[in-house]
Structure 1
């Protein structure tokens, strides 16, 4: 039996974001290639949709980039109409990556040596 630990996604991956209109793109990049399979298994379209349930995305699409140990998550209709239509600046692309990076991820304990990001 493999011992596992649960950590926020930011310990397993980092992120870059962007937005265009009412669509947010959030890249998720593994801190280490050994963590890639964990990301693919757990950062699914369904899991991301659940993490963003309060934002009510119309669609979540995941694009895998295995040679980079990265994925691009596209969330449609999640930005309150877009930068020009919304008075809520916190809802836009860059702020949304923090919501995703807070998602709990279960990782085999032996992979903890590859974690990155803040330890708090």
Structure 2
């Protein structure tokens, strides 16, 4: 078993609307999807964003895409128009999520990207 930051197993997309942030995590390989479902939970995400004081974290699973979307309420300092802190919006928040630790069995390590000797992420 190895522990790696989540970004070695998946990539992210984000958006924001008002005082709500959406952060999606998409597995780099379908074999990694069950690990994401098991370990990247609403509780884990709420703990990672505790300093932003979300009032609610909701996870939506999209298994056919090997993706999940997290909706974090009240995490954007009132929203883009009300906040002087632009770093708290949009893509900046996905980097915090993608740094969560993920425990990966040795048998799945070959599907990780970005590690020495690992494949490069596919180009969009």
TM-score tier after normalising by the smaller chain length = over 0.9
Aligned residues: 116
TM-score after normalising by structure 2: 0.91
1:119 corresponds to which residue? 115
Instruction: Report which structure shows greater RCO (CA 8 Å, sep ≥6).
Output: 1
Tell me how large the CA RMSD over aligned residues is: 1.0
Query: Where in structure 1 do 4 or more consecutive aligned residues deviate above 3 Å?
Result: none
User: Could you list the runs of 5+ residues in structure 1 that have no partner in the other structure?
Assistant: none
> Distance between the aligned counterparts of 1:74 and 1:113, measured in 2?
30
Counterpart of 2:2 (choices 5, 9, 12) is 5
TM-score after normalising by structure 1: 0.94
1:90 aligns with 2:87: yes
Task: Give the deviation of 1:112 after TM superposition.
Answer: 1.0
Q: How does 1:11-30 map to 2 (within 5 A)?
A: 11-30=8-27
